[in-house]
Chain A
């Protein structure tokens, strides 16, 4: 079993929900990424999502776009990011999931990317522009290298597509809470409970919800319905605003409190 699925299973046994903060790899620099993994882990992250910076991030809103651009401007490459992860992950104790756009994998070669990710201790992958029907090769190599795949479902996904994504997911199913790109939202769509219930009728695999979530209250209400909460832009923003990382630590603890009940 890959580390993503294993972590969800152990959380489920403890009747806990996963808090999954996101940070952009290489933002502002790779040294900070290494430090932040420990900071997030110690603050209570159950899994950590690490973005691989890409020139054309169509699923991302302005905050994560800007973070990716900073990382690229500061010289972050896939090889350097994986090397940094390789140093940190063995001692981290918190599984790390990479969020990469498909061209990053395709260009490097799917098998090579999987082998290198595995070598660096990466537990799973999220690819926001890869629907399951285009993922034949990827599924093959992910299984070979024990990388957990986490496909996305959206409020627009019909039952059949939800089933298909769930079947292809070997970690968790990533439910996109809203129609739109990543970013902080004051209010989440009223249809989320129905959406999650609709997913739950199609699969028993763990469901993590992301996009738009930033507050303790939002985390709490999602945590009552789903198995995990992913927080991206709010974390990235907190990292950008305070280089001593106190702000991001406080943000993670606060969200954790929301999930505690």
Chain B
């Protein structure tokens, strides 16, 4: 595909990790390549997708939302209806099957919004592996519901107090754990980030989103979408839906980053819009850093987008021009959250609200018969407290 040498997307990607992990990455890469095409593995994963997670998720025509915004037809890919409430379960199921086959006894994960932590804790519970989730203290405070869910599922949630106390630092801590426990622990990375083979593997597990979208839209409208819109933090839901359409030049792909309080301020998480190439968490990719290469704290109202890095394939797709990366602010995301909730009765996650906000900006430009798909990557139940707080409501 877009890799020109294993683990690279143009100049991005690679493996920038402590030597202790290199053998483990080779082992993982070999295991993934072996099982990715193994009929028994894929059948087991398909079965879990169907009976455990509830796939295929609907491709829903948001009729009132479309009509009020313009002439086009807007569809929502309902990843929010997955078990555990977001697309994160797709990847967690794929990787846990791999971990089991590799004979690992313990799962390590990092989480920002808690959706990946919940997905990891869920699959660990189902398959009887122990699970340690690293989570920044700041995120623990704003996602207390997910923290409790993880603990109910039997996971140990370890608060991370270093640095910005968010996802970046949780990832550092997860990597430190893995370096020390590499023999029997499996590091279940939640996004298309990290050293090779993670970006490729996570994308491939998430690519089910795009495959279903194409098939469902062919059935519903007998055509490809004109636009596919998805939010980008690390970038797994967007890679998952984009991957199917990257080779279809007629499909416009729009990635939406978090502009936080505005791209002109220092409080945003718009890595592709405002960052420059650098190395963090094992890969060369766009990165928010200062003049000395120190990684900056990202900011977004959405914990899942609050990350100063991004998957290396997104960096490649930005430089190649194949994907158009935009950014929307906290305020725009909150307005979209409210609008979708009131027009369709669907409460989106704050992460997904960024994609919805971009969809609302593009909708008036659609002509009759044009189709836009917005990836509704997660549901908003976890964000109710944050939204209430933004409205000055005390629950």
Query: A102 to B168, alpha carbons, bound, how many Å?
Result: 17
**Is B289 among interface residues, defined by CB-CB distance under 8 A?**
yes
Contacts of B282 in A (CB 8 A): 129
A128 interfacial by beta-carbon distance below 8 Å:
yes
Surface stretch bound by B, among A175-183, A222-230, A250-258: A175-183
A134 within 8 A of B: yes
| Given known contacts A54-B294, A58-B176, A156-B182, A106 and B20 CB-to-CB distance under 8 angstroms | no
**Contacting pair B24 A156 (CB below 8 A):** yes
Interface string of B1-39 (1 = CB under 8 A from A): 000000000000011111111111000000000000000
A61-B168 Cα distance, complex, nearest whole Å? 16
Does A55 touch B at the CB level, under 8 Å? yes
Known: A56-B172, A58-B175. A106 touches B279 (CB 8 A): yes
Residues A125-184 near B (CB distance < 8 A): 128-131, 133-134, 151-158, 161, 165, 176, 179-181
Q: Check if B22 sits within 8 Å of A103, measured CB to CB.
A: no
A161–B294 touching, CB < 8 Å: no
> Would you call B16 and A134 a contact (CB within 8 A)?
yes
On whether the beta carbons of B294 and A72 are closer than 8 Å, the reply is: yes
Please tell me if B155 contacts chain A, counting CB pairs below 8 Å.
no
CB-defined contacts of B293 to chain A, threshold 8 Å: 54, 78, 103-104, 106-108
CB contact between A58 and one of B18, B182, B278, B289 (< 8 Å): that residue: B18
Q: Verify B14–A134 contact, CB threshold 8 A.
A: yes
A84 at the interface (CB under 8 A from B): no
Contacts of B168 on A, CB cut-off 8 Å? 56
Cβ contact within 8 Å between B289 and A107: yes
How far does the Cβ of A106 sit from chain B's closest Cβ, in whole Å? 5
Decide if the interface of chain A is mainly helix, strand, loop or mixed. loop
Q: Answer whether residue A3 sits at the interface, using C-beta atoms and an 8 A cutoff.
A: no
Which residue of chain B has its CB nearest to the CB of A105? Answer: B293
Given A102-B279, A103-B279, A157 contacting B23 (CB threshold 8 A): yes
A181 CA to B15 CA, complexed, in Å: 18
Q: Which residue from chain A places its CB closest to the CB of B17 in the assembled complex?
A: A129
Residues 162 to 210 of chain B near chain A (Cβ within 8 Å):
162-163, 168-169, 172, 175-176, 179-183
Smallest CB gap from A57: residue in B: B172
Q: How many residues on chain A are close to B (CB under 8 Å)?
A: 40
| Chain B contacts with A in 270-299, Cβ cutoff 8 A | 276-282, 284, 287, 289, 292-295
**Of all chain B residues, which has the CB nearest A175?**
B19
CB of A59 within 8 A of chain B? yes
Q: How far is the CB of B267 from chain A (nearest CB, A)?
A: 17
The distance in angstroms between the C-alpha atoms of A104 and B290, with both chains bound, is: 11
Residues of B in contact (CB 8 Å), total 37
Chain B residues with Cβ below 8 Å from A218 are none
Evaluate whether A161 and B292 lie within 8 angstroms (CB atoms) in the complex, with A103-B280, A106-B284 already known: no
Give the Cβ gap from B239 to chain A, nearest Cβ, in Å.
23
- Contact at B175–A77, with CB atoms within 8 Å? no
Bound Cα distance A65, B161 (Å): 12
Whole-angstrom distance between the Cβ of B190 and the nearest chain A Cβ: 17
Nearest B residue to A178 via CB reads B180
**Which residue from chain B places its CB closest to the CB of A65 in the assembled complex?**
B162
B223-262 residues with Cβ-Cβ distance < 8 A to A are: none
Q: Known contacts A56-B280, A107-B289; is A152 also within 8 Å of B23 by CB?
A: no
How long is the Cα–Cα vector from A156 to B168 in the complex, in angstroms? 26
| CB<8 Å pairs between A and B, sample of 20 | A58-B17, A58-B18, A77-B292, A78-B292, A78-B293, A103-B293, A107-B276, A129-B16, A129-B17, A134-B15, A134-B16, A152-B18, A153-B19, A154-B18, A154-B23, A156-B19, A156-B20, A158-B23, A179-B180, A181-B176
Q: CB within 8 Å of B: which residues of A?
A: 54-59, 61, 65, 69, 72, 77-79, 101-104, 106-108, 128-131, 133-134, 151-158, 161, 165, 176, 179-181
Q: A154-B20, A161-B19, A176-B20 are in contact. List 13 more A-B contacts (CB 8 A).
A: A58-B179, A61-B176, A103-B280, A104-B292, A107-B276, A131-B16, A131-B22, A151-B19, A152-B19, A154-B22, A156-B19, A179-B180, A181-B180
Minimum-distance CB pairs A-B, first 10: A107-B293, A180-B180, A154-B20, A55-B294, A103-B279, A156-B23, A152-B19, A154-B19, A55-B295, A59-B18
